[in-house]
Amino acid sequence: MNKNIVGIDWGTSNRRAYLIDESGACLAEHEDNQGMLAVGGRERFGASLAALLDAMRLPAEVPVIMAGMVGSASGWQEVGYQDASAPLEGLPRHLAPVTDPAWAGRCHIVPGYCYRDGAAVDVMRGEETQLLGAVALGHRDGWIVLPGTHSKWVLLRDGVIQSLATYMTGELFAMLSAGGTLSSMMGGDSTDAEGFAAGLEQAARKLPLSNSLFRVRAGVVAKAAPPQQAAALASGLLIGAEFAAAALQAGQGITVIGSPALATRYAAAAAHFGLQCQVLDPHRVFCTAVSQFIKA
């Protein structure tokens, strides 16, 4: 019996789809910019999915598992959050069936997770699927970092979320680059090693972030810092702020699930803060997670 399944990471701006077999091997993949915002309305998700399957030359009846913003209030169908105390390995038992009659019975959405610490609340959509893949690959304990527009720092204990903190790092960097007093200085190479390291060093001092970011501008206009390093300095400050706030125990390491470009930057930051860093490929992690839904 054919047990292949399509897994879709359907984000805000982009989506990635994989045809996965039971072992977690990727048989085909497709990536485009048809994220939630591009779809243009709840009533259009069905047609968008049909176009995706057609682009991958897959039959419409193939089972589909979707994670990410497709399950948000602005997505195809709002799916509630699992409590953080629920083990990640239980996710396959809590999939939400798509109620659209044209797709009912073959399409399901992965619920997000909600973490509460007193009055503080944090949430994730999409990252829980990558965490399930990491757990299936043997990463059941320790800090998992998922960098991106909204970077997630997750502490796992035996496959259960013990702590979750989200940092708007990527979004803030994009906003600083697009407008405001720093934007005219953000055209340099954000990966410049010297500038990035300087930003990490300033972040380690735990000064107020808004003050540190203004000093990026002050350094340039006072001719105390090269303007071509402003973007890297700001990047180091923002990423370094995550590490400074994480309050990890001395000598503890992290596992990063991210693209090569982001993983390289986070590995450099980990080294600066005296932490070991292991990197997992996000595509492999996601495909492994999807295979868990097949087995269930």
Per-residue pLDDT of the chain (296 residues; tens, 9 = 90+): 458 999 999 999 999 999 998 888 999 999 999 999 999 889 999 999 999 999 999 988 899 999 999 999 999 999 999 999 999 999 999 999 999 999 999 999 999 999 999 999 999 999 999 999 999 999 999 999 999 999 999 999 999 999 999 999 999 999 999 999 999 999 999 999 999 999 999 999 999 999 999 999 999 999 999 999 999 999 999 999 999 998 665 467 999 999 999 999 999 999 999 999 999 999 999 999 999 998 77
Identify the CATH homologous superfamily for domain 5-139+283-295: 2-keto-3-deoxy-galactonokinase, substrate binding domain (3.30.420.300)
Cβ neighbours around 184 below 10 Å, total: 13
Q: Can you tell me whether residue 16 is helix, strand or coil? A: strand
Which fold, 169-280? Answer: Nucleotidyltransferase; domain 5 (3.30.420)
The three-state (H, E, C) secondary structure of 110-169, written as one string: CCEEEEEECCEEEEECCHHHHHHHHHHCCCCCEEEEECCCCEEEEEEECCEEEEEEEECH
What ranges do the domains of the chain cover? Answer: 5-139+283-295, 169-280
